[in-house]
Structure 1
Amino acid sequence: MSANGINNVNVVSQELLPTPEQVKAALPLTAAAERTVREGRATLRRILAREDPRLFVVVGPCSIHDAGAAREYATRLRRLADEVAGSLFLIMRVYFEKPRTTVGWKGLINDPFMDDSFHIEKGLYLARELLLYIAELGLPAATEALDPITPQYLNDLVTWTAIGARTTESQTHREMASGLSTPVGFKNGTDGSLGVAINALKSVARPHHFLGINQNGQCAVFRTRGNRDAHVVLRGGGGRPNYDSVSIAMCERELAENGLPANIVVDCSHGNSNKDPALQSLVAENCVNQILEGNRSIVGLMLESNLHWGNQPIPKNLAQLKYGVSVTDACIDWSATETLLKSAAAKMRPLLAARAGAA
């Protein structure tokens, strides 16, 4: 790429991507999808403001690699969402970008064909097409914002956004989140520290100015008003979980000391389950019990769930991939997911009804 030995010395090639406007023109936001997003975001904001006593649950595959399996999962989750709607507000986890400590598959957008061909332009279309399908079902979607450009292509179809443990400390991601139109959850650090998430919440609530691209793909300066719907996500780390009542109380205290709302989401996977999918149900049950005992700060849960249990390596022959099984973190299966969520909804129903009556 370098003609003069100065610019792009380590760049082999570059290709132009379609602009956000072009992708959205091919896959436009429909009236039904827009209604799902608007109502989903409004519901989340009511939950965060304690105007809706329900618990929201972000549940779905660790990552999306098979759009067909994701559609089947979404269809099942849509039916379940109706069954538990009195106690739980379900949001499908639809993660297209995977941060890597070293190397590995980076997700559907980056490498949609899982063969190191890196057809990002095709990944963007596939991701938007799936989000559109899910929204048209009437099911809200959640995703992780990793690349700061991607939200321009997809965010109009997203109800809740996560900033991962590896990027919570990133100024770029804090600036981006300050302008996102969704409520945003910031995870604690991979070492289990809470300070980076607290600092992120304070930062993201304030106005920022940063570089990005507009809908026409042009470089632009963005000026934001700040995102007041950001909250902390406890995911454990450093070899220790942080979902127990003592950890929750300590988090509440730190939030109060920093003048932040006591809104806590517990990630039942990752450090809180020691990446053992079988422990996710125990984490969720513990949180439900805390709520039944009077906790008011736990507003949401996250679960890694797929059609089938566990995970699998990506084989050289992709025809050998097992359908509905994660290729990243191990997940609980549909049966366990359904049992867990129905049980949690039933346990909390009387308490939430009493809270609603007292409001």
Structure 2
Amino acid sequence: MDWPAVQPDDAASALLWRGEAEAELAMRVKIRLKRIASRKEILKRDWMKDDSVLRSMLIMRNPNQGTPFPLMPAEEQRLGAMWRKTGSDWGRDEIIAAMHLYEQLQGKPISKIAGSEVEQLAQKIGRAPTGVYNKLMNLRALDPRDGRTGFEGASKLDQVTWDEFYDAERQEIDVRRLSAERGRLWDGISEGAETSYPSLETEERRLSEKSTEWLLAHYSHRPRNLAPQRRSQRAATYERDAIVALLRKRLAGFRCEVDGCTSERFETSAGEYFIEVHHLIPLAAGGPDTLENTAAVCPTHHRLMHHGKEKRKITALLSDKRSKDKWL
């Protein structure tokens, strides 16, 4: 950001004009464009009317009385949380929070207005109230107990998570297990605390559809990121058992357990060979932090098991190896 001053239009803004850029001197302020929303990432004004924090923004109360509009700290934090989540897929932790609320609201009207249970959950997980409401309607469409029509479009992960806690034989949700898992994932996390800024990998995927020419054109006009801004953030983490991690490394002889691994080993400053511990069923997906659910892998195979095409195949092979282990 910069202070307003009489100046010509910046060359970088020419890429953003629908018509011809303005050439004359005028009162302008320089801004740095960090990200452009795709169609599904746009924040809608109607969503903010139901939001207990954003509905009081100056731009919502007096939209025709000037620009730009200042934000209060709470408004900035809430907008940031929604901006980071809108358009992104729901994770298992979020679906469990929604499923827990869905079961609590059985037989009750579901409202997304400010102060409602839906809006309160939206504040906690960083989603828009409309997004949480739509997810509850997706769950209703999966619920064979409810004859009312929900919203089609539930994801595969919605179905998997529903099946994880719904007892088809008894035709009921296992509330005890669901509540325990919801507590494990969310208790102690304040509103929006689990949200994070988009990772470099996320931003790369978002820009991957752009041509090299498009990227070069934007790179040539944008300010150089010579001194990246340091940013602190809070994120949900899981308590790891150091005994499990160290035992897994030692039982594997500090070697990668993927058959045929040819990655070159190297020693750490402590004089031990470097190896990483991977959870076969991720902790975020409810996997246990146990020897049976871990494997020692080199950095290359660790990344492959998170992002590679053959991650399911290698995970299956390592899971089979764990099933044949004999514990002392």
Structure showing the higher helix proportion among its residues: 2
Larger Rg: 2
Structure showing the higher strand proportion among its residues: 1
Work out which structure has the larger RCO, using CA pairs closer than 8 Å and 6 or more positions apart in sequence. 1
TM-score class, shorter-chain normalisation, is: under 0.3
